[in-house]
């Protein structure tokens, strides 16, 4: 049985992600449009051996297939088998599954009511909105689970962000460059790109 994704009761201070990883994430989430794209975020979280900070570092994007029927474009569900494969792969390389990411092809980067209702535990969620902005959120689920998850925005630090910038007045980060990398380039054994949450949800 798959572990709960990104199981942690404490939110990170901020999320650190490489520019290459962010481009890979954006392309993977755009690929199944107009349906929602989804992925898992692998990296270092609390207690990383080389860091005493509370920052989380995303080091690899694990693309996932949306289990929801293709004609339904406002929700996503991760395949439990892919979650197990990602967890095993990450553990063998001293990484963790930090959280999940998905797109809102026709909505903003803000977690939807369905995202908040279907959250099974507190965790990290990245959302790419219909303007291709990307934002990070911590969804806090109280026990017993009887209400919508509380939503807390997280700051994102993009490493070597020469082709990325934040837009004043717009929530999230948007990539305006062309080109990028395919997810396959970062799925190899030694090809981790340089240096949140519900298993399902939707817009």
Mean pLDDT of the chain: 75
How much is the pLDDT for 175? 38
pLDDT at 181 over 80: no
pLDDT exceeds cutoff 60 at 5: no
pLDDT of residue 51: 53
Instruction: Give the sign of the dihedral formed by CA 159, CA 48, CA 45, CA 93.
Output: positive
Q: What pLDDT sits at residue 9?
A: 67
pLDDT of 105 higher than 70: yes
Per the CB < 8 A criterion, the answer to whether 19 and 158 are in contact is: yes
Confidence at residue 184, expressed as pLDDT on a 0 to 100 scale? 30
CA atoms within 13 A on the CB side of 151: 20
For residues 97 and 22, give the distance between their C-alpha atoms in angstroms, rounded to a whole number.
16
CA distance linking residue 106 with residue 24, whole number of Å: 20
pLDDT at residue number 203: 58
The CATH architecture one would assign to domain 15-201 is: 3-Layer(aba) Sandwich (3.40)
Question: Which of 44-53, 130-139, 163-172 is the least confident region?
Answer: 163-172
CA distance 179 to 151: 33
User: Which pLDDT belongs to residue 188?
Assistant: 30
pLDDT for 198 beyond 70: no
> What integer is the mean pLDDT of 67-81?
72
Query: What pLDDT shows up at residue 173?
Result: 47
- The ranges assigned to domains in the chain are 15-201
Residue 119: pLDDT over 80: yes
């Amino acid at each position: 049985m798959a572990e709960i994704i990104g199981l942690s009761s404490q939110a990170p201070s901020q999320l650190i992600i490489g520019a290459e990883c962010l481009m890979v994430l954006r392309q993977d989430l755009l690929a199944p449009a107009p349906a929602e794209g989804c992925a898992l975020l692998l990296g270092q979280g609390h207690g990383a051996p080389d860091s005493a900070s509370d920052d989380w570092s995303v080091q690899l994007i694990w693309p996932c297939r949306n289990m929801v029927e293709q004609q339904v474009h406002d929700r996503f569900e991760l395949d439990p088998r892919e979650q197990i494969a990602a967890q095993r792969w990450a553990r063998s390389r001293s990484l963790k599954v930090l959280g999940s990411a998905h797109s809102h092809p026709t909505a903003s980067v803000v977690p939807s009511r369905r995202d908040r209702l279907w959250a099974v535990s507190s965790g990290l969620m990245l959302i790419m909105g219909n303007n291709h902005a990307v934002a990070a959120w911590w969804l806090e689920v109280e026990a017993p689970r009887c209400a919508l998850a509380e939503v807390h925005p997280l700051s994102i630090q993009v490493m070597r962000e020469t082709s990325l910038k934040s837009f004043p007045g717009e929530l999230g980060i948007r990539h305006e460059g062309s080109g990028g990398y395919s997810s396959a380039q970062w799925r190899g054994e030694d090809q981790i790109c340089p240096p949140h949450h519900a298993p399902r949800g939707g817009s």
